[in-house]
Structure 1
Protein backbone atom coordinates (compact mmCIF):
# COMPACT_ATOMS: atom_id res chain seq x y z
CA UNK A 1 0.00 0.00 0.00
CA UNK A 2 2.75 2.45 0.94
CA UNK A 3 4.72 1.53 -2.17
CA UNK A 4 1.69 2.08 -4.39
CA UNK A 5 1.09 5.42 -2.68
CA UNK A 6 4.65 6.51 -3.37
CA UNK A 7 4.37 5.27 -6.94
CA UNK A 8 1.26 7.36 -7.47
CA UNK A 9 3.01 10.34 -5.89
CA UNK A 10 5.97 10.06 -8.24
CA UNK A 11 3.74 9.56 -11.27
CA UNK A 12 1.90 12.76 -10.38
CA UNK A 13 5.17 14.61 -10.89
CA UNK A 14 5.64 13.15 -14.38
CA UNK A 15 4.69 15.29 -17.34
CA UNK A 16 5.22 15.45 -21.07
CA UNK A 17 8.80 16.60 -21.62
CA UNK A 18 10.83 15.14 -18.78
CA UNK A 19 8.12 13.84 -16.47
CA UNK A 20 8.43 16.85 -14.21
CA UNK A 21 5.56 19.09 -13.11
CA UNK A 22 7.60 22.26 -13.04
CA UNK A 23 8.76 21.68 -16.59
CA UNK A 24 5.20 21.35 -17.88
CA UNK A 25 4.13 24.56 -16.15
CA UNK A 26 7.20 26.39 -17.40
CA UNK A 27 6.79 25.10 -20.95
CA UNK A 28 3.15 26.13 -21.05
CA UNK A 29 4.04 29.57 -19.71
CA UNK A 30 6.84 30.07 -22.20
CA UNK A 31 4.52 29.06 -25.03
CA UNK A 32 2.19 31.90 -24.04
CA UNK A 33 4.81 34.64 -24.05
CA UNK A 34 4.06 37.87 -25.88
CA UNK A 35 4.64 38.25 -29.61
CA UNK A 36 7.52 40.60 -28.86
CA UNK A 37 9.28 37.99 -26.75
CA UNK A 38 8.81 35.39 -29.47
CA UNK A 39 10.29 37.74 -32.07
CA UNK A 40 13.25 38.30 -29.78
CA UNK A 41 13.77 34.56 -29.52
CA UNK A 42 13.52 34.16 -33.29
CA UNK A 43 16.13 36.87 -33.79
CA UNK A 44 18.58 34.93 -31.66
CA UNK A 45 17.96 31.65 -33.48
CA UNK A 46 20.38 29.87 -35.81
CA UNK A 47 23.49 31.58 -34.45
CA UNK A 48 25.37 28.28 -34.21
CA UNK A 49 25.76 25.19 -36.35
CA UNK A 50 24.51 21.83 -35.11
CA UNK A 51 28.04 20.44 -35.01
CA UNK A 52 29.36 23.45 -33.09
CA UNK A 53 29.35 24.22 -29.37
CA UNK A 54 25.67 25.08 -28.93
CA UNK A 55 23.87 24.70 -25.59
CA UNK A 56 20.29 25.99 -25.85
CA UNK A 57 18.37 24.40 -28.69
CA UNK A 58 15.52 26.87 -29.12
CA UNK A 59 17.82 29.91 -29.07
CA UNK A 60 20.89 28.76 -30.94
CA UNK A 61 19.78 26.40 -33.70
CA UNK A 62 17.90 26.80 -36.95
CA UNK A 63 14.52 25.12 -37.29
CA UNK A 64 16.10 22.31 -39.33
CA UNK A 65 18.79 21.70 -36.73
CA UNK A 66 16.20 21.79 -33.95
CA UNK A 67 14.37 18.99 -35.74
CA UNK A 68 17.62 17.04 -35.90
CA UNK A 69 18.20 17.55 -32.18
CA UNK A 70 14.66 16.47 -31.36
CA UNK A 71 15.07 13.39 -33.56
CA UNK A 72 18.19 12.39 -31.63
CA UNK A 73 16.33 12.88 -28.34
CA UNK A 74 13.46 10.69 -29.57
CA UNK A 75 15.91 7.94 -30.55
CA UNK A 76 17.64 8.22 -27.18
CA UNK A 77 14.31 7.98 -25.35
CA UNK A 78 13.52 4.79 -27.24
CA UNK A 79 16.94 3.35 -26.39
CA UNK A 80 16.59 4.07 -22.67
CA UNK A 81 13.04 2.72 -22.52
CA UNK A 82 11.18 5.94 -21.95
CA UNK A 83 7.66 4.83 -22.84
CA UNK A 84 5.03 5.77 -20.31
CA UNK A 85 2.25 3.31 -19.50
CA UNK A 86 -1.38 4.36 -19.34
CA UNK A 87 -3.46 3.03 -16.48
CA UNK A 88 -7.11 2.02 -16.82
CA UNK A 89 -8.19 5.46 -15.59
CA UNK A 90 -5.95 7.29 -18.07
CA UNK A 91 -6.41 5.10 -21.12
CA UNK A 92 -8.40 7.78 -22.98
CA UNK A 93 -6.18 10.72 -22.05
CA UNK A 94 -4.06 12.61 -24.56
CA UNK A 95 -1.04 10.64 -25.74
CA UNK A 96 1.05 13.82 -25.45
CA UNK A 97 1.11 13.26 -21.68
CA UNK A 98 2.35 9.70 -22.16
CA UNK A 99 5.54 9.88 -24.26
CA UNK A 100 6.10 6.91 -26.57
CA UNK A 101 3.09 5.06 -25.18
CA UNK A 102 2.76 3.22 -28.49
CA UNK A 103 5.77 1.07 -27.52
CA UNK A 104 4.01 -0.27 -24.43
CA UNK A 105 0.35 -0.02 -25.51
CA UNK A 106 0.18 -3.72 -26.53
CA UNK A 107 1.42 -4.71 -23.05
CA UNK A 108 -0.39 -2.38 -20.67
CA UNK A 109 -3.72 -4.21 -20.82
CA UNK A 110 -2.31 -7.75 -20.55
CA UNK A 111 -3.08 -9.91 -17.55
CA UNK A 112 -0.29 -9.53 -15.04
CA UNK A 113 0.69 -13.21 -15.42
CA UNK A 114 1.17 -12.75 -19.16
CA UNK A 115 3.10 -9.54 -18.66
CA UNK A 116 5.39 -11.15 -16.09
CA UNK A 117 6.03 -14.11 -18.39
CA UNK A 118 7.01 -11.83 -21.26
CA UNK A 119 9.22 -9.76 -18.98
CA UNK A 120 10.98 -12.88 -17.72
CA UNK A 121 11.59 -13.92 -21.33
CA UNK A 122 13.54 -10.69 -21.88
CA UNK A 123 10.97 -8.70 -23.86
CA UNK A 124 12.21 -5.13 -23.39
CA UNK A 125 8.87 -3.35 -23.59
CA UNK A 126 7.18 -5.93 -21.37
CA UNK A 127 9.90 -5.25 -18.81
CA UNK A 128 9.45 -1.49 -19.15
CA UNK A 129 5.70 -1.93 -18.67
CA UNK A 130 6.06 -4.23 -15.66
CA UNK A 131 8.11 -1.76 -13.61
CA UNK A 132 5.43 0.89 -14.13
CA UNK A 133 2.23 -1.01 -13.33
CA UNK A 134 0.98 -1.30 -9.75
CA UNK A 135 0.37 -5.06 -9.93
CA UNK A 136 2.95 -7.80 -9.99
CA UNK A 137 5.47 -9.63 -7.86
CA UNK A 138 7.76 -7.08 -6.20
CA UNK A 139 10.81 -9.34 -6.18
CA UNK A 140 10.42 -9.97 -9.90
CA UNK A 141 9.95 -6.27 -10.61
CA UNK A 142 13.15 -5.49 -8.71
CA UNK A 143 15.08 -8.06 -10.75
CA UNK A 144 13.58 -6.76 -13.99
CA UNK A 145 14.52 -3.19 -13.09
CA UNK A 146 18.12 -4.25 -12.46
CA UNK A 147 18.17 -6.11 -15.78
CA UNK A 148 16.90 -3.02 -17.58
CA UNK A 149 19.89 -1.08 -16.22
CA UNK A 150 22.16 -3.63 -17.88
CA UNK A 151 20.27 -3.38 -21.17
CA UNK A 152 20.49 0.42 -21.12
CA UNK A 153 16.70 0.81 -20.97
CA UNK A 154 17.06 2.46 -17.59
CA UNK A 155 14.51 5.28 -17.54
CA UNK A 156 11.59 3.72 -15.67
CA UNK A 157 13.86 1.16 -14.04
CA UNK A 158 15.67 3.96 -12.19
CA UNK A 159 12.38 5.57 -11.25
CA UNK A 160 11.10 2.26 -9.88
CA UNK A 161 14.26 1.54 -7.89
CA UNK A 162 14.31 5.00 -6.30
CA UNK A 163 10.66 4.79 -5.28
CA UNK A 164 11.20 1.27 -3.95
CA UNK A 165 14.17 2.39 -1.83
CA UNK A 166 12.43 5.49 -0.50
CA UNK A 167 9.35 3.44 0.33
CA UNK A 168 11.52 1.02 2.32
CA UNK A 169 13.17 3.93 4.15
CA UNK A 170 9.78 5.38 5.02
CA UNK A 171 8.47 2.03 6.27
CA UNK A 172 11.57 1.51 8.36
CA UNK A 173 11.35 4.92 10.00
CA UNK A 174 7.64 4.55 10.72
CA UNK A 175 8.21 1.20 12.38
CA UNK A 176 11.37 1.96 14.36
CA UNK A 177 11.85 5.71 14.49
CA UNK A 178 15.53 4.94 13.82
CA UNK A 179 16.90 7.15 11.07
CA UNK A 180 20.12 5.12 10.88
CA UNK A 181 18.20 2.11 9.61
CA UNK A 182 16.39 4.29 7.09
CA UNK A 183 19.72 5.65 5.89
CA UNK A 184 20.57 2.28 4.35
CA UNK A 185 17.63 2.58 1.98
CA UNK A 186 18.23 6.29 1.36
CA UNK A 187 21.81 5.46 0.38
CA UNK A 188 20.39 2.99 -2.14
CA UNK A 189 18.08 5.67 -3.54
CA UNK A 190 20.91 8.16 -3.88
CA UNK A 191 23.16 5.59 -5.54
CA UNK A 192 20.50 5.32 -8.26
CA UNK A 193 20.31 9.11 -8.49
CA UNK A 194 24.06 9.29 -9.08
CA UNK A 195 23.90 6.38 -11.52
CA UNK A 196 21.34 8.35 -13.52
CA UNK A 197 23.29 11.61 -13.39
CA UNK A 198 26.42 9.84 -14.59
CA UNK A 199 24.48 8.64 -17.63
CA UNK A 200 22.90 12.06 -18.29
CA UNK A 201 19.50 11.06 -16.97
CA UNK A 202 17.15 12.69 -14.47
CA UNK A 203 14.98 9.56 -14.31
CA UNK A 204 16.08 8.81 -10.74
CA UNK A 205 16.56 12.41 -9.67
CA UNK A 206 13.00 13.51 -10.49
CA UNK A 207 11.15 11.10 -8.16
CA UNK A 208 13.83 11.50 -5.48
CA UNK A 209 13.33 15.27 -5.39
CA UNK A 210 9.55 15.04 -5.63
CA UNK A 211 9.16 12.53 -2.81
CA UNK A 212 11.76 13.84 -0.36
CA UNK A 213 10.61 17.46 -0.66
CA UNK A 214 6.99 16.96 0.40
CA UNK A 215 4.58 15.06 2.61
CA UNK A 216 5.86 12.56 5.16
CA UNK A 217 9.46 12.87 4.04
CA UNK A 218 9.52 16.64 4.37
CA UNK A 219 7.94 16.49 7.82
CA UNK A 220 9.88 13.55 9.28
CA UNK A 221 12.90 12.34 7.32
CA UNK A 222 14.43 14.80 4.85
CA UNK A 223 16.08 16.98 7.49
CA UNK A 224 18.16 13.93 8.47
CA UNK A 225 19.43 13.31 4.94
CA UNK A 226 22.99 14.65 4.83
CA UNK A 227 24.26 13.81 1.35
CA UNK A 228 27.74 15.14 2.08
CA UNK A 229 27.95 13.12 5.29
CA UNK A 230 26.69 9.99 3.54
CA UNK A 231 28.91 10.50 0.49
CA UNK A 232 31.39 7.67 1.22
CA UNK A 233 28.58 5.13 1.65
CA UNK A 234 26.70 6.44 -1.39
CA UNK A 235 29.86 6.29 -3.49
CA UNK A 236 30.55 2.72 -2.39
CA UNK A 237 27.01 1.66 -3.28
CA UNK A 238 27.16 3.55 -6.59
CA UNK A 239 30.48 1.98 -7.58
CA UNK A 240 29.21 -1.50 -6.74
CA UNK A 241 26.14 -0.91 -8.91
CA UNK A 242 28.01 0.75 -11.77
CA UNK A 243 30.76 -1.88 -11.85
CA UNK A 244 28.26 -4.74 -11.82
CA UNK A 245 26.27 -3.19 -14.66
CA UNK A 246 29.43 -2.72 -16.74
CA UNK A 247 30.65 -6.23 -15.95
CA UNK A 248 27.33 -7.79 -16.93
CA UNK A 249 27.20 -5.71 -20.10
CA UNK A 250 30.66 -6.97 -21.05
CA UNK A 251 29.73 -10.57 -20.28
CA UNK A 252 26.59 -10.29 -22.39
CA UNK A 253 28.35 -8.32 -25.17
CA UNK A 254 25.87 -5.46 -24.79
CA UNK A 255 27.00 -2.35 -26.63
CA UNK A 256 25.86 0.78 -24.82
CA UNK A 257 24.94 3.95 -26.70
CA UNK A 258 26.62 7.23 -25.81
CA UNK A 259 24.65 10.48 -25.49
CA UNK A 260 25.12 13.10 -28.20
CA UNK A 261 25.39 16.85 -27.58
CA UNK A 262 21.64 17.14 -28.11
CA UNK A 263 21.00 14.54 -25.40
CA UNK A 264 23.38 16.18 -22.96
CA UNK A 265 21.89 19.62 -23.52
CA UNK A 266 18.38 18.26 -22.98
CA UNK A 267 19.66 16.81 -19.71
CA UNK A 268 21.16 20.17 -18.72
CA UNK A 269 17.87 21.87 -19.54
CA UNK A 270 16.07 19.44 -17.23
CA UNK A 271 18.55 20.08 -14.42
CA UNK A 272 18.13 23.84 -14.90
CA UNK A 273 14.37 23.46 -14.51
CA UNK A 274 14.79 21.34 -11.38
CA UNK A 275 17.00 24.07 -9.92
CA UNK A 276 14.02 26.41 -9.83
CA UNK A 277 12.39 24.33 -7.08
CA UNK A 278 15.16 22.16 -5.66
CA UNK A 279 18.28 24.33 -5.79
CA UNK A 280 19.41 23.44 -2.25
CA UNK A 281 19.36 19.67 -2.78
CA UNK A 282 20.96 19.96 -6.21
CA UNK A 283 23.71 22.13 -4.74
CA UNK A 284 24.34 19.46 -2.12
CA UNK A 285 24.57 16.82 -4.85
CA UNK A 286 26.92 19.03 -6.88
CA UNK A 287 29.17 19.55 -3.85
CA UNK A 288 29.21 15.80 -3.16
CA UNK A 289 30.54 14.53 -6.50
CA UNK A 290 30.50 10.84 -7.31
CA UNK A 291 31.69 9.41 -10.60
CA UNK A 292 31.76 12.18 -13.20
CA UNK A 293 29.16 14.38 -11.53
CA UNK A 294 31.71 17.06 -10.62
CA UNK A 295 32.22 17.90 -14.30
CA UNK A 296 28.62 17.15 -15.28
CA UNK A 297 27.08 19.43 -12.65
CA UNK A 298 29.49 22.27 -13.45
CA UNK A 299 29.30 22.00 -17.23
CA UNK A 300 29.21 25.31 -19.16
CA UNK A 301 26.04 24.22 -20.97
CA UNK A 302 24.27 23.65 -17.65
CA UNK A 303 25.17 27.18 -16.60
CA UNK A 304 24.07 28.48 -20.00
CA UNK A 305 20.71 26.71 -19.80
CA UNK A 306 20.18 28.04 -16.27
CA UNK A 307 21.02 31.59 -17.34
CA UNK A 308 18.74 31.50 -20.38
CA UNK A 309 15.94 30.02 -18.32
CA UNK A 310 16.23 32.84 -15.80
CA UNK A 311 16.17 35.37 -18.64
CA UNK A 312 12.98 33.81 -20.01
CA UNK A 313 11.33 33.92 -16.61
CA UNK A 314 12.31 37.55 -16.14
CA UNK A 315 10.94 38.42 -19.59
CA UNK A 316 7.70 36.60 -18.81
CA UNK A 317 7.40 38.58 -15.58
CA UNK A 318 7.95 41.86 -17.43
CA UNK A 319 5.40 40.91 -20.10
CA UNK A 320 2.84 40.02 -17.43
CA UNK A 321 3.32 43.37 -15.69
CA UNK A 322 2.99 45.22 -18.99
CA UNK A 323 -0.26 43.42 -19.80
CA UNK A 324 -1.67 44.23 -16.37
Structure 2
Protein backbone atom coordinates (compact mmCIF):
# COMPACT_ATOMS: atom_id res chain seq x y z
CA UNK A 1 0.00 0.00 0.00
CA UNK A 2 1.48 3.29 -1.12
CA UNK A 3 0.07 5.44 1.68
CA UNK A 4 1.43 3.15 4.42
CA UNK A 5 4.93 3.95 3.19
CA UNK A 6 4.65 6.96 5.50
CA UNK A 7 4.86 4.61 8.47
CA UNK A 8 8.44 3.84 7.46
CA UNK A 9 9.35 7.32 8.68
CA UNK A 10 8.35 9.67 11.50
CA UNK A 11 4.70 10.43 10.78
CA UNK A 12 3.28 12.62 13.56
CA UNK A 13 0.56 14.91 12.17
CA UNK A 14 2.39 18.08 13.23
CA UNK A 15 5.43 17.09 11.17
CA UNK A 16 3.35 17.39 7.99
CA UNK A 17 2.27 20.92 8.91
CA UNK A 18 5.90 21.91 9.50
CA UNK A 19 6.94 20.13 6.31
CA UNK A 20 4.45 22.11 4.22
CA UNK A 21 5.66 25.35 5.83
CA UNK A 22 9.26 24.40 5.01
CA UNK A 23 8.29 23.74 1.37
CA UNK A 24 6.54 27.13 1.17
CA UNK A 25 9.65 28.80 2.59
CA UNK A 26 11.64 27.18 -0.21
CA UNK A 27 9.23 28.63 -2.77
CA UNK A 28 9.58 32.11 -1.30
CA UNK A 29 13.37 31.86 -0.98
CA UNK A 30 13.79 30.97 -4.66
CA UNK A 31 11.33 33.73 -5.64
CA UNK A 32 13.77 36.39 -4.48
CA UNK A 33 15.58 36.75 -7.85
CA UNK A 34 12.24 37.56 -9.50
CA UNK A 35 11.36 40.05 -6.76
CA UNK A 36 14.76 41.76 -7.04
CA UNK A 37 14.40 41.99 -10.84
CA UNK A 38 10.97 43.61 -10.45
CA UNK A 39 12.30 46.11 -7.89
CA UNK A 40 15.20 47.05 -10.17
CA UNK A 41 12.81 47.41 -13.11
CA UNK A 42 10.53 49.63 -11.06
CA UNK A 43 13.37 51.95 -10.05
CA UNK A 44 14.50 52.16 -13.67
CA UNK A 45 10.98 53.04 -14.76
CA UNK A 46 10.59 49.94 -16.94
CA UNK A 47 7.72 48.57 -14.85
CA UNK A 48 4.36 50.24 -14.28
CA UNK A 49 3.38 49.55 -10.67
CA UNK A 50 -0.27 50.39 -11.41
CA UNK A 51 -0.52 47.29 -13.63
CA UNK A 52 1.08 44.83 -11.21
CA UNK A 53 -2.34 43.39 -10.37
CA UNK A 54 -2.73 42.38 -14.03
CA UNK A 55 -1.51 38.78 -14.27
CA UNK A 56 -0.87 39.01 -18.02
CA UNK A 57 1.23 42.15 -17.52
CA UNK A 58 3.32 40.51 -14.78
CA UNK A 59 3.82 37.38 -16.89
CA UNK A 60 5.23 39.48 -19.72
CA UNK A 61 7.56 41.76 -17.77
CA UNK A 62 10.76 40.09 -18.94
CA UNK A 63 12.15 38.38 -22.01
CA UNK A 64 10.27 35.03 -22.30
CA UNK A 65 13.22 32.77 -21.53
CA UNK A 66 14.28 34.85 -18.53
CA UNK A 67 10.68 35.08 -17.40
CA UNK A 68 10.37 31.29 -17.59
CA UNK A 69 13.41 30.92 -15.33
CA UNK A 70 11.85 33.30 -12.80
CA UNK A 71 8.57 31.35 -12.89
CA UNK A 72 10.18 27.93 -12.48
CA UNK A 73 12.85 28.68 -9.88
CA UNK A 74 10.43 28.86 -6.91
CA UNK A 75 9.24 25.33 -7.69
CA UNK A 76 12.84 24.10 -7.68
CA UNK A 77 13.25 25.71 -4.25
CA UNK A 78 10.03 24.16 -3.01
CA UNK A 79 11.15 20.71 -4.18
CA UNK A 80 14.57 21.05 -2.52
CA UNK A 81 13.14 22.19 0.81
CA UNK A 82 10.38 19.55 0.72
CA UNK A 83 12.85 16.72 0.15
CA UNK A 84 15.03 18.06 2.96
CA UNK A 85 11.98 18.02 5.25
CA UNK A 86 11.22 14.45 4.23
CA UNK A 87 14.78 13.35 4.90
CA UNK A 88 15.49 15.17 8.17
CA UNK A 89 12.05 15.89 9.66
CA UNK A 90 10.42 12.56 8.79
CA UNK A 91 13.52 10.36 8.48
CA UNK A 92 11.87 8.94 5.36
CA UNK A 93 13.72 7.92 2.21
CA UNK A 94 12.97 9.35 -1.23
CA UNK A 95 12.17 5.85 -2.45
CA UNK A 96 9.51 5.33 0.22
CA UNK A 97 7.97 8.69 -0.68
CA UNK A 98 7.98 7.73 -4.36
CA UNK A 99 7.01 4.07 -4.64
CA UNK A 100 6.29 0.77 -2.94
CA UNK A 101 8.61 -1.05 -5.35
CA UNK A 102 12.13 -2.13 -4.42
CA UNK A 103 13.43 0.79 -6.48
CA UNK A 104 11.95 3.66 -8.45
CA UNK A 105 10.66 2.24 -11.76
CA UNK A 106 11.93 4.68 -14.39
CA UNK A 107 10.47 2.52 -17.17
CA UNK A 108 7.03 3.53 -15.94
CA UNK A 109 8.06 7.19 -15.92
CA UNK A 110 9.40 7.13 -19.46
CA UNK A 111 6.50 5.08 -20.84
CA UNK A 112 3.84 7.58 -19.86
CA UNK A 113 6.15 10.53 -20.53
CA UNK A 114 6.44 9.65 -24.21
CA UNK A 115 2.87 8.35 -24.48
CA UNK A 116 1.29 11.52 -23.12
CA UNK A 117 3.85 13.71 -24.88
CA UNK A 118 2.85 12.21 -28.23
CA UNK A 119 -0.88 12.34 -27.46
CA UNK A 120 -0.91 15.92 -26.18
CA UNK A 121 1.30 17.14 -29.04
CA UNK A 122 -0.97 15.38 -31.53
CA UNK A 123 -3.98 17.32 -30.22
CA UNK A 124 -2.14 20.62 -30.82
CA UNK A 125 -0.97 19.61 -34.31
CA UNK A 126 -4.43 18.39 -35.32
CA UNK A 127 -5.93 21.68 -34.15
CA UNK A 128 -3.25 23.52 -36.16
CA UNK A 129 -4.17 21.59 -39.30
CA UNK A 130 -7.91 22.14 -38.80
CA UNK A 131 -7.69 25.84 -37.82
CA UNK A 132 -4.36 27.21 -39.10
CA UNK A 133 -5.73 30.75 -38.87
CA UNK A 134 -5.61 30.45 -35.06
CA UNK A 135 -1.83 29.96 -35.02
CA UNK A 136 1.33 31.84 -35.91
CA UNK A 137 4.58 30.03 -36.69
CA UNK A 138 6.72 31.36 -33.86
CA UNK A 139 9.93 29.35 -34.31
CA UNK A 140 13.29 31.12 -33.90
CA UNK A 141 16.23 28.76 -33.62
CA UNK A 142 18.40 30.65 -31.10
CA UNK A 143 15.72 31.49 -28.53
CA UNK A 144 14.13 28.06 -29.02
CA UNK A 145 17.38 26.23 -28.22
CA UNK A 146 17.76 28.31 -25.05
CA UNK A 147 14.14 27.49 -24.22
CA UNK A 148 14.90 23.77 -24.63
CA UNK A 149 17.77 23.97 -22.13
CA UNK A 150 15.69 25.90 -19.58
CA UNK A 151 12.59 23.76 -20.03
CA UNK A 152 14.39 20.42 -19.86
CA UNK A 153 16.34 21.52 -16.78
CA UNK A 154 13.61 23.25 -14.78
CA UNK A 155 10.15 22.07 -15.85
CA UNK A 156 10.67 18.53 -14.45
CA UNK A 157 11.62 20.19 -11.14
CA UNK A 158 8.41 22.22 -11.23
CA UNK A 159 6.20 19.24 -11.99
CA UNK A 160 8.08 17.00 -9.54
CA UNK A 161 7.54 19.52 -6.75
CA UNK A 162 3.80 19.53 -7.37
CA UNK A 163 3.68 15.74 -7.57
CA UNK A 164 5.85 15.09 -4.52
CA UNK A 165 3.85 17.63 -2.54
CA UNK A 166 0.35 16.49 -3.51
CA UNK A 167 0.50 12.89 -4.74
CA UNK A 168 3.37 12.04 -2.39
CA UNK A 169 3.77 14.00 0.83
CA UNK A 170 0.16 15.10 1.39
CA UNK A 171 -1.36 11.91 -0.02
CA UNK A 172 0.59 9.86 2.53
CA UNK A 173 0.25 12.35 5.39
CA UNK A 174 -3.50 12.90 5.06
CA UNK A 175 -3.99 9.19 4.41
CA UNK A 176 -2.49 8.04 7.69
CA UNK A 177 -4.36 10.77 9.58
CA UNK A 178 -7.74 10.01 7.95
CA UNK A 179 -7.07 6.23 8.01
CA UNK A 180 -8.54 5.86 4.51
CA UNK A 181 -7.63 6.53 0.89
CA UNK A 182 -10.50 8.48 -0.59
CA UNK A 183 -10.11 11.48 1.74
CA UNK A 184 -6.48 12.20 0.71
CA UNK A 185 -7.40 11.54 -2.94
CA UNK A 186 -10.22 14.10 -2.85
CA UNK A 187 -8.44 16.70 -0.72
CA UNK A 188 -5.17 16.66 -2.69
CA UNK A 189 -7.08 16.89 -5.99
CA UNK A 190 -9.19 19.83 -4.81
CA UNK A 191 -6.25 21.74 -3.32
CA UNK A 192 -4.12 21.03 -6.41
CA UNK A 193 -6.86 22.50 -8.59
CA UNK A 194 -7.60 25.50 -6.38
CA UNK A 195 -3.92 26.50 -6.23
CA UNK A 196 -4.07 27.01 -10.02
CA UNK A 197 -6.76 29.66 -9.57
CA UNK A 198 -4.15 32.44 -9.95
CA UNK A 199 -3.15 31.19 -13.41
CA UNK A 200 -3.96 33.65 -16.22
CA UNK A 201 -5.97 30.88 -17.93
CA UNK A 202 -8.58 31.18 -15.18
CA UNK A 203 -8.89 34.92 -15.77
CA UNK A 204 -9.46 34.38 -19.50
CA UNK A 205 -11.53 31.17 -19.52
CA UNK A 206 -13.45 31.56 -16.28
CA UNK A 207 -13.78 29.22 -13.34
CA UNK A 208 -15.01 26.40 -15.57
CA UNK A 209 -11.32 25.66 -16.29
CA UNK A 210 -11.07 24.51 -12.67
CA UNK A 211 -12.83 21.33 -13.79
CA UNK A 212 -9.70 20.56 -15.83
CA UNK A 213 -7.25 21.34 -13.03
CA UNK A 214 -9.14 19.41 -10.36
CA UNK A 215 -9.85 16.58 -12.80
CA UNK A 216 -6.17 16.33 -13.68
CA UNK A 217 -5.27 16.17 -10.00
CA UNK A 218 -7.84 13.42 -9.49
CA UNK A 219 -6.48 11.36 -12.39
CA UNK A 220 -2.90 11.72 -11.13
CA UNK A 221 -4.05 10.67 -7.66
CA UNK A 222 -5.81 7.61 -9.09
CA UNK A 223 -2.65 6.69 -10.99
CA UNK A 224 -0.62 6.91 -7.80
CA UNK A 225 -2.97 4.83 -5.66
CA UNK A 226 -3.73 2.18 -8.28
CA UNK A 227 -0.09 1.79 -9.33
CA UNK A 228 1.23 1.94 -5.74
CA UNK A 229 3.75 4.62 -6.68
CA UNK A 230 4.25 8.07 -8.17
CA UNK A 231 6.25 7.14 -11.28
CA UNK A 232 3.30 7.47 -13.68
CA UNK A 233 2.11 10.76 -12.16
CA UNK A 234 5.64 12.18 -12.34
CA UNK A 235 6.02 11.19 -15.99
CA UNK A 236 2.59 12.43 -17.07
CA UNK A 237 2.96 15.83 -15.43
CA UNK A 238 6.48 16.37 -16.77
CA UNK A 239 5.39 15.51 -20.32
CA UNK A 240 2.25 17.64 -20.13
CA UNK A 241 4.12 20.82 -19.17
CA UNK A 242 7.34 20.23 -21.13
CA UNK A 243 5.81 19.40 -24.49
CA UNK A 244 3.31 22.25 -24.16
CA UNK A 245 6.04 24.79 -23.32
CA UNK A 246 8.07 23.76 -26.37
CA UNK A 247 5.20 23.41 -28.82
CA UNK A 248 2.68 26.20 -28.25
CA UNK A 249 2.24 29.38 -26.25
CA UNK A 250 -0.30 32.18 -25.99
CA UNK A 251 -0.52 35.61 -24.43
CA UNK A 252 -2.99 34.32 -21.83
CA UNK A 253 -1.19 31.19 -20.59
CA UNK A 254 1.07 30.69 -17.57
CA UNK A 255 4.00 29.75 -19.80
CA UNK A 256 4.74 32.40 -22.43
CA UNK A 257 7.69 30.95 -24.29
CA UNK A 258 9.66 30.99 -27.55
CA UNK A 259 7.67 27.94 -28.61
CA UNK A 260 7.21 26.65 -32.15
CA UNK A 261 3.64 27.94 -32.43
CA UNK A 262 1.72 30.79 -30.87
CA UNK A 263 -2.01 30.44 -30.36
CA UNK A 264 -3.72 33.64 -31.46
CA UNK A 265 -7.31 32.48 -30.95
CA UNK A 266 -9.68 34.22 -28.58
CA UNK A 267 -9.81 32.10 -25.41
CA UNK A 268 -13.35 33.30 -24.78
CA UNK A 269 -14.48 31.19 -27.74
CA UNK A 270 -13.25 27.96 -26.16
CA UNK A 271 -16.24 25.72 -25.64
CA UNK A 272 -17.07 23.80 -22.50
CA UNK A 273 -16.51 20.55 -24.41
CA UNK A 274 -12.84 21.46 -25.00
CA UNK A 275 -12.42 21.52 -21.23
CA UNK A 276 -14.65 18.57 -20.37
CA UNK A 277 -13.54 16.13 -23.08
CA UNK A 278 -9.97 15.69 -21.74
CA UNK A 279 -11.24 15.08 -18.19
CA UNK A 280 -14.22 12.84 -18.95
CA UNK A 281 -13.09 11.13 -22.17
CA UNK A 282 -9.33 11.26 -22.75
CA UNK A 283 -8.21 10.72 -19.15
CA UNK A 284 -10.49 7.69 -18.56
CA UNK A 285 -9.15 6.12 -21.77
CA UNK A 286 -5.62 6.74 -20.53
CA UNK A 287 -6.42 5.12 -17.17
CA UNK A 288 -7.91 2.14 -19.01
CA UNK A 289 -4.72 1.71 -21.07
CA UNK A 290 -2.55 1.92 -17.96
CA UNK A 291 -4.77 -0.50 -16.06
CA UNK A 292 -4.35 -3.09 -18.81
CA UNK A 293 -0.62 -2.58 -19.16
CA UNK A 294 0.11 -2.71 -15.43
CA UNK A 295 -2.70 -5.15 -14.55
CA UNK A 296 -4.43 -2.98 -11.97
CA UNK A 297 -7.00 -4.84 -9.87
CA UNK A 298 -9.02 -4.31 -6.70
CA UNK A 299 -9.99 -0.74 -7.58
CA UNK A 300 -12.46 -0.40 -4.71
CA UNK A 301 -9.93 -1.16 -1.99
CA UNK A 302 -7.08 0.81 -3.55
CA UNK A 303 -9.20 3.95 -3.93
CA UNK A 304 -11.65 3.67 -1.03
CA UNK A 305 -10.10 1.18 1.40
CA UNK A 306 -8.81 1.81 4.89
CA UNK A 307 -5.25 2.64 5.88
CA UNK A 308 -3.86 0.49 8.69
CA UNK A 309 -0.46 0.82 10.29
CA UNK A 310 1.65 -2.25 9.50
CA UNK A 311 2.96 -4.17 12.53
CA UNK A 312 6.40 -3.41 13.98
CA UNK A 313 6.94 -0.34 11.79
CA UNK A 314 8.34 1.61 14.73
CA UNK A 315 11.14 -0.93 15.05
CA UNK A 316 11.68 -0.69 11.31
CA UNK A 317 12.26 3.07 11.60
CA UNK A 318 14.92 2.66 14.30
CA UNK A 319 16.60 -0.12 12.39
CA UNK A 320 16.73 1.85 9.14
CA UNK A 321 17.99 5.19 10.52
CA UNK A 322 21.49 5.71 9.22
CA UNK A 323 21.20 2.87 6.72
CA UNK A 324 22.38 3.43 3.16
CA UNK A 325 18.94 2.31 1.97
CA UNK A 326 17.50 5.58 3.27
CA UNK A 327 19.46 7.85 0.92
TM-score by length of 1: 0.29
The alignment's TM-score, normalised by the length of structure 2, stands at 0.29
